[in-house]
Amino acid sequence: MSLFARLRRSLAPCFALAVALAAAPAPAADPVTVSDFQLPPQDAAGWTRLSPSADSRLVYVDSQQGNDADARIYLPADPEIGADPQSPRGPIRAFRTIAAAHANLREDQPDWILLRAGRVWNERLDIKRGRSPAERAVATTWGAGPRPELRTGTDKAIGNYQLVNVAIVGLRFWAHTRDSDGPYFTGFDGSSGISVFTRLRGDRRQVRDVLIEDCVFRAYSNNVLTGGVGDGNEPITRFVIRRSIISGNYSTSAHAQGLYHTGSGQPLQPSVLLQENLFDHNGWRIQSRDGNNAQAEGQATMFNHNTYFSFAKGVIFQRNLFLRASSIGNKWTGDTGDPTLGVVMEDNLYVEGEIGVSVGGNSEGPARFRDMVFRDNVLVDIGRSRPTNRSLAWGIDLIDWLGGEVTGNLVIHNRSGITNAYALKTDSGTRFEDVAISGNVLAFATGTGTPSVQLGDGVNVVYRDNTVVSPSNSRLVRLAGGGYTFAGTNRYVSGASQAFQVDGNLRTLAQWRSDTGDQGATGSMPAFPAPQRDLEGYATTLGLDGFQGLLDAFHAQSKATWNPALTAGAINDWLRAGYGMAPLQPRRVRRNGGTPLAPPAAPATTAAAPPPVPAAVSAAARASATPATADGDVAMPAPARRATGLRGLLVRLLPFLADDGDRSRDSEARRDRH
């Protein structure tokens, strides 16, 4: 290493201190929060509570007993309705077809269309605009039973290209004629399930204040949210999908995503919220035959993902399950002149595919991704199923950031033998600046010469209190360039004698400390209580048959059968506890500004059993199951006072000065502010 490079690295903390004391900015809040989406009220279990207005039309539909000729339109005050329109207390004269019922809905009014539970239609859904976010047009279910099923074949799931002040709750949309896993498959023709776009300002037809909850979208070619395209178009505003299932999307002639969104030209404002959803097996029907990205018969390609967001602004992904993507769990793109801006990815679970998260790619340019947050996520077995037939297992891939944090994440288990692998990679591309990388646990096997963490040239990047463990005794960290401040206690564990690379030169731990200024670095093995924990083990605690049993249980989730033990938050906490990381769920509060949510599952620190899996999910499910706890408990840190005055300022600006108590309190405050 050159003398200049050594000086630059050794003096980096001093320069950072000088700059911080001069500027003294306040700690940044998240660029967008769930409360910004102005969700309707929720019950104690987190489900939306919808109530009609006094003048709402209630239009009931029953595909078996309804009659379009003599159906009646109801008001909430009618004696047949009672306190809950979804459970009317008297006989209902329903329509038979959705189309006839839709003809009786009004634009800009809080009218409801209610489909009878357990019934089937060979129709799509169309809905009118609601009156306001507080008085939405509603499409939902009535009566007892499973979700109403709309078998739409080659048609869309939702016919509208614009949706305003709408709630769609508790429905199943199925492109049944293109689902080769079902009994009605006839061919590959199909459409996007959701396809919406905004219009010019002043047009009432926009995409604004939309809630989709407890719905299923199965086997469509895509789902597309297009906002801010063209001069003068409105942005997509407050589009929310929560506790829903999007799976099996594919195409034989184009790219296919679970959900695609572009926010080109949009300002920073609350745009899209994905919360507690399941995205599974999107972008492919079958594994690629030869890895050449052929689309025939719905083969997996490198261009297809569970989500693909371009030029996005004001987006939150929170506690979702992103499983078995064709290529990437979450792919993000942006340009210097039209960046992806203000994104929070928090407490999601990523499984398989070949890349967990890619925030970069497609082009180069400075500041293409601004104010990005990737926090408290868990990535497991990335690369295992090899959908595209390529051999790669990449966890977190970050390029051209300006401002952001990568904190509290867990990346584990590469047991596929793939050596083209890493847990975390940062790349300047053009510039990687003002980013905090802290509190991550990266225990991911790689090839002998492939470091688990690869740090490209940066500017003002703080790397603090991270743990990197190589189960394959491979290299741990490659540093190419400067701009990093190493702080706190970074742990590095590998059987390799020279586990580090600095500007292409192999280094021991002692040499790494000298070259980088990472004076708190240690090679001691952390006390992981149960690092063997994986999804197969979690399935066992619930009486399920391995990973497939867990998948079956995920797909059986609905409001009627909801099991908090099958949510990303509960699973992540169980996996985190195996690596000595504190649970998040006991601290969860209502994101729409209300009372605390009930914990989704018993914390990993106790022996309490999670809620049972519904018997219908799996023959192996049992009424009650207790997670194994003999492999170690993890205690939550005790609350304490936060540092104040000059010390508090320095701790916030220069985190490597904090002691363990300060770090614990900062982490607690960071999580509680949501």
Three-state SS string over 472-499 comes to CCCCCEEECCCCEEEECCCEEECCCCCC
Q: Which of 317, 332, 214, 328 is nearest to 282 (CA)?
A: 328
Residue 621 is predicted with a pLDDT of: 31
Residue 381 tokens read as 């077995």
Q: What is the pTM of this model?
A: 0.86
Is the model more confident about 130 or about 416? 130
Task: Name the percent of the chain lying above pLDDT 90.
Answer: 78
Is the model more confident about 176 or about 611? 176
Give the integer Cα–Cα distance in Å for 210 and 166: 5
Scored b (16 or more CB within 10 A) or e, 266-289 reads: bebebbbbbbbbbbbbbbbbeebe
- The residue extents of the domains of the chain are 1-30+309-526
Over 60: is that where the pLDDT of 674 sits?
A: no
Q: What is the largest CA-CA distance in the chain?
A: 88
Residue 363 is predicted with a pLDDT of: 84
Flag the least confident range among 86-90, 151-155, 487-491, 665-669.
Answer: 665-669
Quickly list DSSP for 78-128: STTTTT-TTS-SS----BS-HHHHHTT--TTS--EEEEETT-EESS-B---
Residue 15 is predicted with a pLDDT of: 44
Residue 465 is predicted with a pLDDT of: 98
Residue 364 is predicted with a pLDDT of: 84
Scored b (16 or more CB within 10 A) or e, 121-160 reads: bebbbbbbbbbebebbbbbbbbbeeebbbbbbbbbbbbbb
Stretch 108-129: mean pLDDT, rounded?
Answer: 99
Stretch 192-201: mean pLDDT, rounded?
Answer: 96
664 touches 670 (CB < 8 A):
no
- The per-residue pLDDT for range 421-439, each reduced to its tens digit, is 999 999 888 889 999 999 9
Residue for token digits 């660029």? Answer: 31
Give the integer Cα–Cα distance in Å for 92 and 114: 11
Give the integer Cα–Cα distance in Å for 194 and 239: 12
Amino acid at 305: H
Over 60: is that where the pLDDT of 389 sits?
A: yes
- Average pLDDT of the chain is 86
Over 70: is that where the pLDDT of 132 sits?
A: yes
Q: Which of 432, 455, 453, 434 is nearest to 442 (CA)?
A: 453
Give the integer Cα–Cα distance in Å for 271 and 315: 6
Which range has the top average pLDDT, 1-5, 288-292, 497-501? 497-501
Over 60: is that where the pLDDT of 110 sits?
A: yes
Flag the least confident range among 280-289, 428-437, 487-496, 639-648.
Answer: 639-648
Contacts of 543 (CB under 8 A, 6+ apart): 613, 618, 620, 621, 622, 625
Give the integer Cα–Cα distance in Å for 371 and 434: 9
Residue 291 is predicted with a pLDDT of: 87
Give the residues across from 112 on adjacent strands: 58, 138
Give the integer Cα–Cα distance in Å for 169 and 192: 19
Residue 630 is predicted with a pLDDT of: 31
- The per-residue pLDDT for range 596-605, each reduced to its tens digit, is 333 333 333 3
Over 60: is that where the pLDDT of 125 sits?
A: yes
Over 50: is that where the pLDDT of 20 sits?
A: no
End-to-end Cα separation, the chain, in angstroms? 44
Binned at pLDDT 50, 70 and 90, residue 666 comes out as very low
Beta strand segments in 276-417, E = 278-280, 305-310, 313-318, 321-323, 328-333, 340-346, 349-351, 355-359, 369-375, 378-380, 393-399, 401-407, 410-412
Over 50: is that where the pLDDT of 372 sits?
A: yes
- The per-residue pLDDT for range 404-418, each reduced to its tens digit, is 999 999 999 999 999
468 touches 453 (CB < 8 A):
yes
What's the chain's length in residues? 674
Give the integer Cα–Cα distance in Å for 330 and 284: 15
Over 90: is that where the pLDDT of 71 sits?
A: yes
Over 90: is that where the pLDDT of 480 sits?
A: yes
Residue 631 is predicted with a pLDDT of: 33
Number of neighbouring beta carbons within 10 Å of residue 510: 10
Give the integer Cα–Cα distance in Å for 192 and 200: 23
Residue 329 is predicted with a pLDDT of: 98
Residue 459 tokens read as 């500017």
